[in-house]
Structure 1
């Protein structure tokens, strides 16, 4: 079947009363235009509302992608950072709204960066920048961004990403661990919550697919150490300073 017809059917289904997922006309038009089959192997299954697995990562179902994109509240000419480029489909839809040269995407997996670049070029969005980075660090060279989309779960958004927002910017991410909900955080600290979602956690160096070592314990130890250091107050801080002064004698 003609991929254009499959795209129309996909978006019509998301807008239907049965699914009631897609309400933003800007996002709907963009999803009708992006050739999703260029990002997945099977043309027909590419337009089915289900997830796919590619190079060790989950390609979002169209309904999930629509929820993320609507929460971003995109406008023409917005500068956008996508953390978790995956195969590049989300970046392509964003590019339809804001312009491809305004879209920047990063992924910690080198094979996925290569895949996303190839897919985007084949689909006609070669102007989208895709770089291999630790997503928690963002992309400071191109900051600030009007919108940041984190396609991975976190209890709180990384500080570096919040710091790369414009004054009226917005960061969208799945908040939580086992139970997650889509959340939008504004640069001034305001928060809005949306639908329940389920995403894999944000990865750091060594945890990505194909890495020599995948060690979440080490990462958790570092995070707990930082939280303990920041929470020291009163007699505990005095005791630490007293120990240090004894050791220096």
Structure 2
């Protein structure tokens, strides 16, 4: 496989058509080596428009989904980011190139170690991987400029939104199969939050988050 040609095709044929046109995001996807964050058994899927399996029933999201979330969050160099669901560390690597500092929480110890190893190998020094349940966020270290949920939840807990700075943004995939939507929440003031629906997608559940009670008749 011609890796650079495959990377170029991913950007031009998958990511651009998904309204990802930010030059900074596109150039970042050209230099951060996605293949280095894909498990060895799935290297051939590194640039394919699909989710890549990871240990523990998790997966890497499709490249276009990662790219679109990164674009919509518009992370700046002075900002601090919290990611929930490190996976293989690829999204954290992208965020690390855009932000001042990133903390990524991973509930699966095997994945936390994989992400840590991948990020160190890639030379991303401003990302810290912690083995932790991310459903509560990090209230003792809040507020954050940006929070990213790299997976789906039934709903975003108010406790996570409360960890945003005023002007801060939170991105998550919200809902139940077969209909989930990527959402962007922005904190306008101490008590005011706005939300925008970005696109429809489906993503694996993040562990530790509450599911709505199901009524049976």
TM range (shorter): 0.7 to 0.9
Structure showing the higher helix proportion among its residues = 1
Match of 2:194 among 190, 194, 198: 190
Deviation at 1:39, TM superposition (A): 0.6
Distance in structure 2 (CA, Å) of the matches to 1:128 and 1:35 = 16
Residues 202, 48 of structure 1: alpha-carbon distance in 2 compared, 3 angstrom cutoff:
closer
Distance in structure 2 (CA, Å) of the matches to 1:72 and 1:190 = 14
**Which TM-score applies when normalising by structure 2?**
0.85
Note the alpha carbon deviations across 1:138-192, whole angstroms, 9 max, x for none: 1234321111011222232112211211111111111211211111111221111
**Could you say which residue in structure 2 is the equivalent of 1:143?**
142
Residues 156, 20 of structure 1: alpha-carbon distance in 2 compared, 3 angstrom cutoff:
closer
| Displacement over 4 Å in runs of 4+ | none
Number of matched pairs: 205
Q: How does 1:152-167 map to 2 (within 5 A)?
A: 152-167=151-166
Distance in structure 2 (CA, Å) of the matches to 1:50 and 1:202 = 18
Distance in structure 2 (CA, Å) of the matches to 1:11 and 1:49 = 10
Structure with max Cα Rg:
1
**Could you say which residue in structure 1 is the equivalent of 2:7?**
7
**Could you say which residue in structure 1 is the equivalent of 2:88?**
87
Unaligned runs of 5+ in 2: none
Distance in structure 1 (CA, Å) of the matches to 2:204 and 2:34 = 22
Deviation at 1:12, TM superposition (A): 2.2
Deviation at 1:2, TM superposition (A): 5.5
**Could you say which residue in structure 2 is the equivalent of 1:241?**
none
**Which TM-score applies when normalising by structure 1?**
0.75
Distance in structure 2 (CA, Å) of the matches to 1:80 and 1:14 = 26
Note the alpha carbon deviations across 1:25-49, whole angstroms, 9 max, x for none: 2211211111111111255431222
**Could you say which residue in structure 2 is the equivalent of 1:238?**
none
Residues 32, 45 of structure 1: alpha-carbon distance in 2 compared, 3 angstrom cutoff:
same
